[in-house]
Structure 1
Amino acid sequence: MDADEHDPTGLDLASEIARAAVEAAEYGVQLPEPKPVRPVRRTPRVFDEQRSGAHPDERDPQLVGDVLDQIVRDRGWKKRINLSTVLRRWPDLVGEANAEHSRPVHYEKGLLVVECDTTAWAQAMRYAASQLVARLNDSLGEATVLRVDFRGPQAPSWKKGPRSVQGRGPRDTYG
């Protein structure tokens, strides 16, 4: 068969192979056994980098707000941020009149310290302390604020400064 005459179906080649096999069988010629086809062993592929699958996971792009929320939770800043947010709304929590005469000054381990203008305001606000604790825990999360301590104004200290004296000092000023 010439190179110009090509059978795309391959029937000519198949008939030639069949004829050769029949002739070999008639004359007792043994055709060589075909070599067994060895399956190709593939080594498992090891990826140095991890790749994302079909389902969302932490390696996929995330929204900035979700990432910041996760950082706040991981670092334990959630109570502090919630507390600062709520304390900025102090007038809404205690009322305008009470907010004019009091301000939160410190928070630690469930204790909120509130400083009042006078001892009378501190005493009046102590009566509403349980309601305030309930409102704060609604806003901040359960058991964030365990107790509120209302304090009146602090008397000046005469223990330090240019006019301080050693020992007990004069007793006629605030006694």
Structure 2
Amino acid sequence: MLSNTQRDYPQLRGSDLAKAALQAAKDASSGPGPRRTNQAKRGFTGNRRRRRWSGPRPDERDPQPLGRLASRLAADRGWSGQLATGRLFARWSAIVGEDVAEHTQPVVLRDGELTIQAVSTAWATQLRLLQRQLLAKIAAGVGDGVVTKLKVNGPAAPSWRHGTRRVPGRGPRDTYG
């Protein structure tokens, strides 16, 4: 079945036929009848204020950096605290330094209190003495108010109490580290 354009222009093929069809459509639309305004062509339905361009000044409709959008999304959904915790645990060695990170590990952050596990009692004591400097480094690394207090634990000692009968007393003494 032949279209109207093919009947009108039987000698044209391919792109020439497409050009002729486009020209015929343009000629048909510019004839008499209701004339469309520029606003109708652009899709304006009457609310001019909604479709204005933002102009040279920054506007909320302008393209935004992905980081800004992600931080706004996290703040809106209440994920800021969890993201700060993840950032602290992921960047622990960069925040506190390589020497401290080699001998310590963050365990849990709950209600602003960070629990740190040290490999020896000597390192646990050293961290307790450096508590203010560590809090300042953490605040600079992940933000103020994320960590307000440190709880430093020494190494976990094995339990010497086995069985049903026990003898009272302190048991074997060792620093385990």
Give 3-state SS (helix, strand or coil) of 2:146's partner. coil
2:112 aligned partner? 110
2:53 aligned partner? 54
% of aligned pairs identical? 31
1:102-126 Cα offsets, whole Å, 9 max, x none, are 1000001110100011111100111
The farther-off stretch of 131-140 and 94-103 is: 94-103
Query: Structure 2 stretches of 5 or more lacking a match?
Result: 1-44
TM-score by length of 1: 0.56
Task: For residue 87 of structure 1, report the CA deviation from its aligned partner.
Answer: 2.8
1:145 aligned partner? 147
The question of whether the paired residues in 2 share the 8 Å contact of 1:158 and 1:164 is answered with no
1:169 and 2:145 aligned: no
Aligned residues: 123
1:76-128 Cα offsets, whole Å, 9 max, x none, are 22232233223322223333222121100000111010001111110011111
Larger Rg: 1
Task: For residue 135 of structure 1, report the CA deviation from its aligned partner.
Answer: 1.2
Task: Tell me how far apart the structure 2 counterparts of residues 69 and 101 of structure 1 sit (CA, whole Å).
Answer: 33
Task: Tell me how far apart the structure 2 counterparts of residues 96 and 141 of structure 1 sit (CA, whole Å).
Answer: 20
Aligned pair partner of 1:95 in 80, 91, 97: 97
1:134 aligned partner? 136
- Hey, which of these two has a bigger chunk of helix by percent? 2
1:125 aligned partner? 127
Query: Structure 1 stretches of 5 or more lacking a match?
Result: 1-44
